[in-house]
Amino acid sequence: MRPAQDAFSATTADRVTTPTSVARALVEALRVRQWLKNGLVVAAPLAAGVIFRPDVLLDTAVALAAFILASSGTYVLNDVGDVNADRLHPTKRYRPIARGDLPLTLAKVTGVALLLAAVLIPVLGGFYTLAMCIGSYAVITSLYSRWLKHEPVVDLAVVAVGFLLRAMAGGLAAGLTLSPWFLAVASFASLYIVAGKRYSELVNLGEEGPKMRPCLEAYSASYLRFVWSIAAAVLVTTYCLWAFEVSPSSIADASVPWLAFSVAPFVVGVLRYALTIDRGAAGAPEDIVLSDRGLQVIGLVWFLVFTCGALGV
């Protein structure tokens, strides 16, 4: 086994393989750790500097709750569809449906119920554009689970769109105008993360990869490296252009150009994440964020500087 593969599945040997209760298996199938991805919902209100307005905060909370339901619903249904392939995967075989702790019928009902709730809650609250956003997410992820994930390049784009829709949700719920720069940064950040994950899978799974994820057969390590490198370059460029465009350009301005200052920790964070990708250890992004102390510190510094800029401190 390669060293990178050890990092990719560091906790595999510690997994509990004994049967668990159905209730515990159901909670596990919701992938609570991956709810961290839904933090992107606050991105647009934060970037607009209005996140702490009570009305915007409430709208964002509705979007966050709806996306948590939607993402968990798609995770469950995806695991139902991939149960046979997951049983061949070195880490996914420990998921509750793959190991047989969660009945397929119950999983299907739960997944559908969560998706319906994710769309109905915004509709009942009058958040119609948010409902359309989440409905689009549900349709795209369903198509991905059944078909698109087997299509090279398309699978990268579809997963990236899922991240992008999360980033848009808070702004749509609050009725904000989404900046083209914001959408560009969110899009290429998503592609950067997804391409890095595919690269790590290709490096670690080797010849077994196509059996577990058929689209890997069409990829080479050099191609995926090219994709995540290009995505990183465009991400940094668009972020810089956006940050310098909205930052004060005159000393006479009352506020400090915090957004321009945020470029430094942002670039360092991108480079730090690239190091993880290059080692072939870029599995689930939430695992990297929760385990990499250096990345956490960099992220905290960026967040503080960015927030100061967004709020006009």
Q: What is the pLDDT of residues 137-147, one digit of tens each?
A: 989 988 887 88
- The residue extents of the domains of the chain are 22-175, 179-313
Across residues 189-214, what is the average pLDDT?
A: 81
Q: Is the pLDDT of residue 234 over 90?
A: yes
Residues 6+ apart with CB under 8 A from 59: 45, 127, 170, 173, 174, 175
Q: For the whole model, what pTM was predicted?
A: 0.79
Local confidence band at 246 (pLDDT 50, 70, 90 cut-offs): low
Candidates 80, 88, 89; CA nearest to 115 is 80
CA dihedral 214, 218, 222, 227 (to 10 degrees): -80
The domain 22-175 belongs to what CATH superfamily? UbiA prenyltransferase (1.10.357.140)
- Determine whether 144 is exposed, middle or buried from the number of CB atoms within 10 Å of its CB (0-12, 13-18, 19+): buried
Length of the chain: 313
CA distance 149 to 154: 7
Tell me if 73 sits within 8 A of 113, measured CB to CB. yes
The interaxial angle of helices 154-173 and 54-81, nearest 10 deg, is 150
Across residues 35-63, what is the average pLDDT?
A: 89
Q: Is the pLDDT of residue 17 over 80?
A: no
How many of the other CB atoms lie within 10 Å of CB of 114?
A: 21
Candidates 103, 106, 104, 133; CA nearest to 121 is 133
Tell me if 190 sits within 8 A of 161, measured CB to CB. yes
pLDDT at 22: 83
Could you tell me what percent of the chain has a pLDDT over 70? 88
What's CA 217's distance to the chain center, in Å? 24
Q: Which amino acid is at 129?
A: T
State both tokens at 285: 């992004």
CA distance 113 to 130: 18
Q: Average pLDDT of the chain?
A: 83
